[in-house]
Chain A
Amino acid sequence: MVGGGFLLSFRWFESSASPVQTIAEEVNFNSYLSIAPNDVITIFAPNPEVGQNIKTAFPMIVAEELDADWTKVKIVQAHLDTKKFERQATAGSGAMQHSWDRLRKAGATARMMLVEAAAKRWNVSAAALTTDNGFVWHTESGRKLSYGSLATDAATMKVPEGVKLKVKKDYKLIGKPIHNTDNAEMITGKPLYGMDTYREGMLIAMIERPPFGTKIKFAETAAAKAMPGIVEVITFKNKVAVLGKSTWQVTKARKLLKVEYEPDGAVESTTEHNTLMKQLLDKADVKPSRKDGDVEAVFKTAAQVITREYQAPFLSHACMEPMNFFAHVRPDGVELIGPAQLPEDTRKNVAKLLGIDIEKITLQMTRMGGGFGRRQRSDYSMEAAELSSMVKAPVKVIWTREDDMQGGQYRPAMRYRFQAALDEEGNWIGYRMRGVGINSGNSTRPDHFPAGAVANFLVDSIDHKSPVTTAPWRAPSENFLGFAEQSFFDEIAAAAHRDPIEYRLAYLEKAQKTPVGAVKYDIERMKGVIKLVAEKSNWGKNKELYQGFSAYFSHGSYIAQVAEIEMKNGSLVLRKMYAAVDCGVVVNLSGAYQQVKGGIIDGLGHALYGEVTLQDGIPLQKNFDTYRLIRMKEVPDVEVYFVDSDINPTGLGEPALPPAAAALANAFFKATGKRLYHQPFSKEEAMKELTLNQSS
């Protein structure tokens, strides 16, 4: 029995997240939905849920086109199933863009089949029939049939091609604030997350991992192994795993491990990274990722050149639910359960690791306590699989918060240099930008504004390869680029003695009328959100307030923000944020508001406090006492406005984050005359002038 505990009316296998069930009499229409005779409609949610609310939003789209009664819809999280679904992934705010039409067709096709079945039963033409809220109607005769009563017949109908999809004005569900499908379970504490996976005979594993750039010199494990409840201590792949019967016993035993490390490649520290990034900014002969006009010439003759640098530290994803995964490797196959943003990758990586066929691996996706990109990696799931195959028992690997924060896969540290050339009249004639980073890949977005608007344009980037592991972090690269770029543009407008919004609109218009090179963002949509945020925030009207502006395009969506700082009882306080958003059709209004607000809060919080620093390959921040997350007291009001649009929906999990810190920094400049260049802001001397505690 687990940890020698006496269990009272309780069995693990009954309490753990239940497997996907299909009720015998349910009639399957396609991969997404089935209908039961009692009118219950089961809609499968194929994508991993990290809190982006996809588990609610996707079924809404199917139900909309089906004309289903939402109160009779049961949503079931699908397992990984590459035969039934495509792109079961949470990455790049891309799910909605990918699946919108597929989901609509799945619903509309089933609806059409139900209509055909009713037409046949009543012996009338399908054209005379309508659908509404789970019924097919023959208005002429006042007859109706429920979907449940038609399901069996309908499923035998020929699957229609080219079904007609609804237009926006006919939507009944899409655009409404529909509540999260897992609310009832979440507020009553039901097992939903990978951490909540328990099985009879399951071992808990915790793992000691090496500092970056080192390997194990020796590991003394006997003392840990001798502790009560400990089943195995295994040294593997430069790590030491302690496996035992309960989390606490493993935690305690692990403290008795004596592991010493020696260098194995570069052992790096933050101070070296900082020097290195500055050097890389001066490196010659870097291949441009975009080049328009003659940048060299225009910078030589410019009346004014503005050069600014911005720097960002490593960040932890700090998902509220630390990394964990369950694996049971048996001779006949492998069972995987846990949080994975890219479950298909996870399965492939486990298959490769164990040398078995992917067909033999099942993967059950659990609701995730946040992802933010961290769970696109399969390091932790592979650990579980490897250990389970070694001990021949079900294993759940748990990362403590300390493991999570010190175990890498960080948002890369980055540094940017921006340069603008202005002529005598303050016209913006040249633009040069370079991004450098530690394992950052391409840290720039070469087609961003002012591409198209400034004739002489050059963007390039340099990546330093390091043993410090990095991963996508909510709005990869853009999470800091958005701040740097939007802060810089504010400075250029100030140097030209122009209002930043008016200045931006003028250059957008220039890119529209006389574009230089390709323009890969929609200028009208960008102008739309800028005008909307100016209107909603009463931009520039109240002289008592210090407002800062930013506008950013990422993941297919357009967002403009205004931050408002106010003098309150003698201190400057960030009072409010405004956001105007164009993400095409808003699918779930409740989820959408929260994605934008949460993105802004995340953007502000990490810009203010977030930082992982390294000393000799060892991360110095270990837990929330030293890695500060934003709390309720520091959160300003946030007002969100969506552009009314019938364009296909685009990403919303990420786009609100990048512009937030810039809006704050630009407002801060208005209030204090000082600029913020480095994150976290809380370490900047000037920041003392802003009171972060809203209630003080």
Chain B
Amino acid sequence: MANYTLKINNKSYRVEVEEDTPLLWVLRDHLGLVGTKYGCGIAQCGACTIHLNGTAVRSCVLPVSAIGKQKITTIEGLSANGEHPVQQAWSEIDVPQCGYCQAGQIMTASAFLNKNPKPTAAQITEAMNGNICRCGTYHRIHEAVALAASKLK
């Protein structure tokens, strides 16, 4: 067990957990931030995607001890009330089916658009290819990323 102070969504949280605990379970079990989802635990599906210093990272394989002072953003902190352009686009396109993968999709998309605000269709596909949607909402995800990009302009 060790103590960690984590910077999550511009707040400080203190937790006492084992060093190898993946951030995913720190968020879910210890901090009540359950928007970040468990899907595979082996960095294959993207359901657990969060931002670490603005970069999309799979929290299921990120040990809490490796985080240090880096800034964490989860789906709960992407915007105050869902008004981030990516979230708005998701809502306008009516993307979610079961919805379980969508927080991870949104976190991947928002980090991607930060780095590449004017992506081509092929770049969107490339960026989103790592996130599985078992329901098959891929067309809408693609459309929503493109729409969000147009909102950013």
A contact set with B: CB distance below 8 Å: 2-8, 10-12, 15, 50-51, 53, 177, 179-180, 182-184, 186-193, 195-196, 198, 204, 228, 246-249, 252, 318-322, 367-370, 400-401, 590, 594, 597-602, 605, 623-625, 629-633, 635, 637-638, 694-695
Q: In the complex, what residue of chain B is closest to A227 when comparing beta carbons?
A: B18
A5-B132 in contact given A188-B75, A632-B138 (Cβ < 8 Å): no
Contact of A635 with B135 in the complex, beta carbons under 8 Å: no
**Pair B96/A694 contact, Cβ less than 8 Å:** no
Q: Which of B111-138 contact A (CB under 8 A)?
A: 122, 125-126, 128-138
Question: Are B125 and A694 touching (Cβ within 8 A)?
Answer: yes
- B57 is an interface residue with CB less than 8 A from chain A: no
Q: Can you show 18 pairs from A to B with CB atoms below 8 A apart?
A: A5-B26, A6-B15, A50-B98, A196-B34, A228-B18, A247-B25, A319-B134, A320-B134, A322-B39, A367-B98, A367-B99, A597-B136, A598-B135, A600-B136, A601-B138, A602-B134, A632-B128, A635-B136
Q: Which residues of B contact A318 (CB under 8 A)?
A: 134
C-alpha gap A219/B136 in the complex (Å): 41
Q: Mark contacts of B60-90 with chain A using CB atoms, 8 A cut-off: 1 yes-contact digit, 0 otherwise.
A: 0000000000000011101101100001001
- Are A5 and B30 neighbours in the complex by a CB distance under 8 Å? yes
- Specify which of A188, A195, A630 is in contact with B136 (CB 8 Å cutoff): A630
Residues A633 and B129 in contact in the complex (CB < 8 Å), given A3-B30, A184-B91, A401-B39: yes
Complexed CA–CA distance, A694 and B122 (Å): 9
Do A624 and B45 contact each other (CB < 8 Å), given the known contacts A184-B82, A188-B81, A635-B136?
A: yes
- Indicate whether A320 sits within 8 Å of B31 (C-beta atoms), given known contacts A50-B98, A188-B75: no
Other-chain residue from B14, B29, B139 in contact with A3 (beta carbon distance below 8 A): B29
In the complex, A177 Cα to B87 Cα: how many Å?
19
Q: Looking at the assembled complex, report how far the CB atom of A53 sits from the nearest CB atom of chain B, in whole angstroms.
A: 7
The answer to whether B55 has its CB under 8 Å from any CB of chain A is no
Contact B17 A187 (CB under 8 A): no
A199 to chain B, nearest CB (A): 12
Residue from B17, B102, B103, B136 with most neighbouring chain A CB atoms (10 Å): B136
B132's contact among A12, A184, A629, by CB below 8 Å, is which?
A: A629
16 new A-B contacts, CB < 8 A, other than A183-B90, A198-B29, A594-B137, are A12-B32, A180-B99, A188-B78, A189-B33, A195-B37, A247-B25, A319-B98, A367-B98, A370-B98, A590-B94, A594-B140, A598-B135, A602-B134, A625-B44, A632-B125, A632-B131
CB of B87 within 8 A of CB of A187, answer yes
What 1/0 mask marks residues of chain B from 10 to 54 whose CB sits below 8 Å from any chain A CB? Answer: 011111111011100110111111111111111011010000000
CB atoms of A4 and B16 under 8 A apart: yes
**Cβ B96 vs Cβ A182 within 8 A:** yes
What residue of chain B has the Cβ atom nearest to residue A318's Cβ? B134
B97 on interface, CB distance cutoff 8 Å: yes
Known contacts: A248-B17, A248-B22, A249-B18. The answer to whether A53 contacts B33 by CB under 8 A is no
Contacts of A247 in B (CB 8 A): 25, 28-29
Cα-based distance from A632 to B100 in the complex (angstroms):
17
Name the residue on A nearest B123 (C-beta): A695
Task: Write out the residue numbers on chain A whose beta carbons fall within 8 Å of the beta carbon of B32.
Answer: 7, 10-12, 15, 198
B45 touching A597, Cβ below 8 Å: no
Question: Which residues from chain B sit less than 8 Å from chain A, CB to CB?
Answer: 1, 3, 11-18, 20-22, 25-26, 28-42, 44-45, 47, 74-76, 78-79, 81-82, 87, 90-91, 94, 96-103, 106, 122, 125-126, 128-142
Residues of B close to A624: CB separation below 8 A: 39-40, 42, 44-45, 132
CB distance from B72 to the nearest CB of A (A): 13
A226 to B111, CA, bound (A): 42
How far, in Å, is B93 (CB) from chain A's closest CB? 9
Q: Given the known A-B contacts A53-B97, A182-B96, are A5 and B45 also in contact in the complex, defined by CB atoms under 8 Å?
A: no
Q: A6 to B16: give the CA distance in the assembly, Å.
A: 6
Closest 10 CB pairs of A and B: A189-B35, A369-B100, A51-B98, A601-B136, A5-B30, A189-B75, A186-B99, A598-B136, A624-B44, A51-B97
A5 touches B16 (CB 8 A): yes
B33 surroundings in chain A (CB, below 8 A):
189
Across-interface contacts of A12 in B (CB, < 8 A): 32
A602 and B136 in contact, given A6-B14, A247-B28 (Cβ under 8 angstroms): yes
- The complex places the Cα of A246 from the Cα of B30 at a distance, in Å, of 8
A249 to B103, CA, bound (A): 25
CA distance A11 to B30 in the complex (A): 10
Given known contacts A5-B30, A6-B15, A8-B13, A632 and B134 CB-to-CB distance under 8 angstroms: no
Tell me which of A191, A320, A638 contacts B34 (CB under 8 A).
A191
Which chain B residue has the least Cβ–Cβ distance from A4?
Answer: B16
Q: In the complex, what distance in Å separates the CA atom of A358 from the CA atom of B146?
A: 50
Interface centre among B32, B39, B122 (most CB of A within 10 A): B32
Known: A369-B98, A594-B140. A189 touches B76 (CB 8 A): yes
A605 to chain B: which residues have CB within 8 Å? 136
Q: In the assembly, what is the distance between CA of A291 and CA of B38, in Å? A: 50
Q: How far is the CA of A186 from the CA of B140 in the complex (A)?
A: 15
User: B103 — which chain A residues lie within 8 A by C-beta?
Assistant: 186-187, 189
| CB-contact partner of A5 in B11, B22, B31, B129, under 8 A | B31
Given the known interface contacts A248-B25, A623-B42, the answer about A187 and B135 at a Cβ–Cβ threshold of 8 Å is no
CB neighbours (8 Å) of A633 from chain B are 125-126, 129
- What's the Cα separation between A228 and B16 when bound, in Å? 13
A602, A625, A632 interface centre (most CB from chain B within 10 Å): A632
Distance A186 CA – B98 CA, assembled complex (angstroms)? 9
Q: How far is the CA of A451 from the CA of B44 in the complex (A)?
A: 45
Give every chain A residue within 8 A of B138 (Cβ-Cβ).
Answer: 601, 631-632, 635
A630 to chain B, nearest CB (A): 7
